[in-house]
Structure 1
């Protein structure tokens, strides 16, 4: 996981769009994380390490030669939300996993809601919210495991955070309300209906609010039927259809493209 994140940071692409006249939407592309069994204890342990471990723990061989934030992907996402949001009222993390970005966003936002389809992830996130820590096992090598403790960083008001189980393709059923910033990291190409997911965004983001979308664009039929891919395929004429442009078009009626970064 750490190696994929480190490689992805060096290859980020970014589109900035605004809702109405003031907001912005950032689309960032990272490398793929691969298939995961999101309800298993191993997945929970790996994500606790990914979200809360230090750079040295995440990448002991290269961590000392990289800036810490390079290996702290949830923190990078949270900072993007905080930087781009004009108001710091409510924030939403769609596909929050074990909550690393949610806690980081609580430094700046008054209320942060995180939801995930995995009940195991949400159980772990709520443990972190209640107790400030949770034990997990880190894989050292082969069958060798090491007991560790994930901790919410000091200075964060955990009472600002809320975690619930939810479906990114059925968000209206959650009655979430609207937000000044919405984050969806490494999620879009892992849902069965990404067009539905994107279509619901206009009802979640306040006028002038921001939507930060992070995706490796690693479409796989195991997660999304090919006919529902937003991009990553060739059209009937053999021309490549790229996700970045298709996302911008899908959101174009409600979001304005401000900037593209690579």
Structure 2
């Protein structure tokens, strides 16, 4: 998912300076008095201490591995309106984005001929699993794949226990504790959560009646590899649902792999939707394109309101 932001900058103190200065002083002294033996230059080299990684840099480079992001995404996936929002004037229709993505998948799936389709769904970049659980209302097998191991661990705990407590930042060090809960009507045994790389999907996954990737494309190091894999993942007549806010950043994706947000060789702007139509058009039929809003709370007063582009495709 979906899933969401840097560079390591280390300053190394030149600890060897003292050793070099000491060696020079000893050499000078020995040339006059011969009282101080001069060691060979490499006999006992002074070790240069390794720089200690800045925890802030580590967190920024592995944002989806931190408990902070696990908590924020639990709130995105499972938070009630009064838990997410603190103000009456915020966009209420932007809540429960992962549930709404699941509903888009199910509504589209119910409109196709399912008689020859595998009753399986694949949620690639599943985040904290809400869409995967929603798909289990219809599909007998639902696989959620996520690269972040802490996210996968949380999904499996939710599958096992049906609920999970988590903390949400209000202000500074002040937090509130909430509980993520799976709808009791969902058969959690239909779900399976695995850690994996969307750019290197195993051939063992087989084919699916529905594949969904919500807000994943612009967080992949090479989204073309994922797109090239899709024709083999989606069974003929099956559905593909993609959403992306098109927030291309070199932090996640080298510019040469951006699907959009750049100019072609003739100076014309290229959008992500342009590239999706070009790459997927041979194997998929575009059914619908629409905008979907979602809301991520960071603190009681700082939030993200995002408009993501959703496209629904049918495999030829």
TM-score (norm 2): 0.68
RMSD, aligned α-carbons:
1.9
Aligned mates of 2:162, 2:89 — CA distance in 1: 25
Contact 1:36 1:43 in 2 (8 A): no
Pick aligned residue for 1:229 from 255, 258, 261: 258
- 1:118 maps onto 2:148 in alignment: yes
Aligned mates of 1:137, 1:113 — CA distance in 2: 27
Q: Which residue of 2 aligns with 1:144?
A: 174
Residue 36 of structure 1 and its aligned partner are, at CA, apart by 7.3
Q: Which residue of 2 aligns with 1:50?
A: 76
Q: Any stretches of 5+ residues in structure 2 without a counterpart?
A: 1-59, 292-316
Aligned-partner SS, 1:140: strand
Aligned mates of 1:254, 1:65 — CA distance in 2: 37
- 1:40 maps onto 2:70 in alignment: no
Aligned-partner SS, 1:38: helix
Q: Give the number of the structure whose alpha-carbon radius of gyration is greater.
A: 2
Where does 1:161-240 land on structure 2 (aligned, <5 Å)? 161-172=191-202, 175-240=204-269
In structure 2, the CA distance between the partners of 1:211 and 1:63, relative to structure 1 (3 Å rule), is farther
Question: Which stretch has the larger CA shift, 120-129 or 102-111?
Answer: 102-111
Aligned-partner SS, 1:74: helix
Q: Which residue of 1 aligns with 2:186?
A: 156
Aligned-partner SS, 1:231: coil
TM-score (norm 1): 0.81
In structure 2, the CA distance between the partners of 1:38 and 1:238, relative to structure 1 (3 Å rule), is same
Aligned mates of 2:89, 2:235 — CA distance in 1: 38
More RCO (CA 8 Å, sep 6+): 1
Aligned-partner SS, 1:171: coil
Between Structure 1 and Structure 2, how many residues are aligned? Answer: 226
Q: Which residue of 2 aligns with 1:78?
A: 102
Aligned-partner SS, 2:205: coil
Aligned mates of 2:287, 2:75 — CA distance in 1: 35
Listed one character per residue, the Cα deviations across residues 122-153 of structure 1 (whole Å, up to 9, x for unaligned) are 00000000001111111111210112211112
Residue 258 of structure 1 and its aligned partner are, at CA, apart by 3.6
Aligned-partner SS, 1:217: coil
Listed one character per residue, the Cα deviations across residues 43-95 of structure 1 (whole Å, up to 9, x for unaligned) are 1111111111112211231388734xx30000110001101113381111000
Contact 1:233 1:240 in 2 (8 A): yes
In structure 2, the CA distance between the partners of 1:51 and 1:35, relative to structure 1 (3 Å rule), is farther
Residue 220 of structure 1 and its aligned partner are, at CA, apart by 0.4
Q: Any stretches of 5+ residues in structure 1 without a counterpart?
A: 1-33
Q: Which residue of 2 aligns with 1:247?
A: 276
- 1:92 maps onto 2:116 in alignment: no
Residue 260 of structure 1 and its aligned partner are, at CA, apart by 4.0
Aligned-partner SS, 2:63: coil
Aligned mates of 2:278, 2:91 — CA distance in 1: 39
Aligned-partner SS, 2:86: coil
